[in-house]
Amino acid sequence: MAKQPDIVCIGDIVTDAFIKLIDDQAVTYQNDQGKWLAMNFGTKLPYDHAEILEAVGNAANAAVAFARLGLESSFVTNVGGDSHGRDMINALHKEKIDTRFVRINPDKRSNYHYVLWYKEERTILIKHEEYDYHWPHLRPAETPRWVYFSSISDHAIEYHDQVADWLDQNPDVKLAFQPGTFQMQAGVERLKRLYARSEVVVLNREEAVFVTGGDYDNLHDLMDRLHGLGVKIVVITDGPDGAYVSDGQKRLQMPLYPDPSPPKERTGAGDAFASTFVAALAKGNTIEGALQWAPINSMNVVQHTGAQAGLLTEEQIEDYLHKSPAWYRPKPME
């Protein structure tokens, strides 16, 4: 019999096919529209190697992080009735993730994305399949302490209302919201019930500006705007500058954990940070403690290919924390 989950993750699941490009077979350049990856057109290009990573995506990565950190992790998602779908369910089982709420869509394909991996960065070719999203009926014995909601297809906009309705009916369940691209594009007005219900929202600095319309150069303004939506704990990550957290009373900044070697590639660093921060809170840690855990998992993830291979156990995180330099501590924001 499945145990009562500590945390239920919600979001799309995908298989990623990583294609490692050879450094001298591509270039990057910058213009007014952003940074671009360029390769010779209409020819055959050699590549280094390919790696297939099953059962990934923001919410799937979080589900794995929670399971490795010792939480009972369950996953609400959709797969197609194909071999990729079966392989993803098997991959979740191997991570000891409860799959009773994974819905198999017999006449649909599973999500399959291609990742162009150039140096330490990646460009992802995405296609979200159009599933018929339904929130499952959870019995009292299946009700978690936390829900973690992340990236999902733009076809699922009404599904957010079902989740919000269920959260209204279960006021003791805490919500962690890590909005994906389509959720941010939907706007705060359309998803205001989720923001208002959120115990934790995690965004990077650029995303926080996009979501709130606030001032990029004023982190306090971004935090004020997110609190104004009803968010209790605001987490804003800022690349090499670390992360910032506000709980409405205190505001803290946290540096990155030092990299033991240059990053291999950066897929999943944000997911590792967000899920580890939430996991620490779910395990009874303080915000200060959660801020010390989260960068360690991000650091280790970027030492590996993909978002999950480098995810750590609690014992491993505590070992890194024990070895951390004296300056690796949260301090009040300026």
Three-state SS across the chain? Answer: CCCCCCEEEECCCEEEEEEEECHHHCEEEEECCEEEEECCCCCCCCEEEEEEEEEECHHHHHHHHHHHCCCCEEEEEEEECCHHHHHHHHHHHHCCCECCCEEEECCCCCCEEEEEEECCEEEEECCCCCCCCCCCCCCHHHCCCEEEECCCCHHHCCHHHHHHHHHHHCCCCEEEECCCHHHHHHCCCCCHHHHHHEEEEEEEHHHHHHHHCCCCCCHHHHHHHHHHCCCCEEEEECHHHCEEEECCCCEEEECCCCCCCCCCCCCCHHHHHHHHHHHHHHCCCCHHHHHHHHHHHHHHHCCCCCCCCCCCCHHHHHHHHHCCCCCCCCEECC
Q: What is the model's pLDDT at position 187?
A: 96
Domains of the chain: 7-12+57-111+138-332 (3.40.1190.20)
Encoded amino acid at 89, one letter: I
> For the whole model, what pTM was predicted?
0.93
Q: How far apart are CA 229 and CA 107, in angstroms?
A: 39
Q: What is the model's pLDDT at position 270?
A: 93
Listed residue (94, 54, 89) closest to 75, CA to CA: 89
Cβ contacts of 119 within 8 Å, gap of 6 or more: 23
Q: How far apart are CA 160 and CA 147, in angstroms?
A: 13
Instruction: Kindly state the average pLDDT of the residues 291-319.
Output: 94
The model's confidence at residue 1, banded by pLDDT at 50, 70 and 90, is low
Q: What is the model's pLDDT at position 264?
A: 79
Instruction: Kindly state the average pLDDT of the residues 285-309.
Output: 94
Q: What is the model's pLDDT at position 260?
A: 84
Listed residue (200, 190, 234) closest to 214, CA to CA: 234
Q: What is the model's pLDDT at position 2?
A: 64
pLDDT digits (tens, 9 = 90+) for 187-198: 999 999 999 999
Instruction: Kindly state the average pLDDT of the residues 57-73.
Output: 97
Instruction: Kindly state the average pLDDT of the residues 266-291.
Output: 95
Answer whether 220's CB lies under 8 Å from 251's CB.
Answer: yes
Instruction: Kindly state the average pLDDT of the residues 125-149.
Output: 93
Q: How far apart are CA 141 and CA 131, in angstroms?
A: 27
CA distances 40 to 30, 36, 48, 117, 269, Å, are: 17, 13, 16, 16, 30
pLDDT digits (tens, 9 = 90+) for 152-201: 999 899 999 999 999 999 999 999 999 999 999 999 999 999 999 999 99
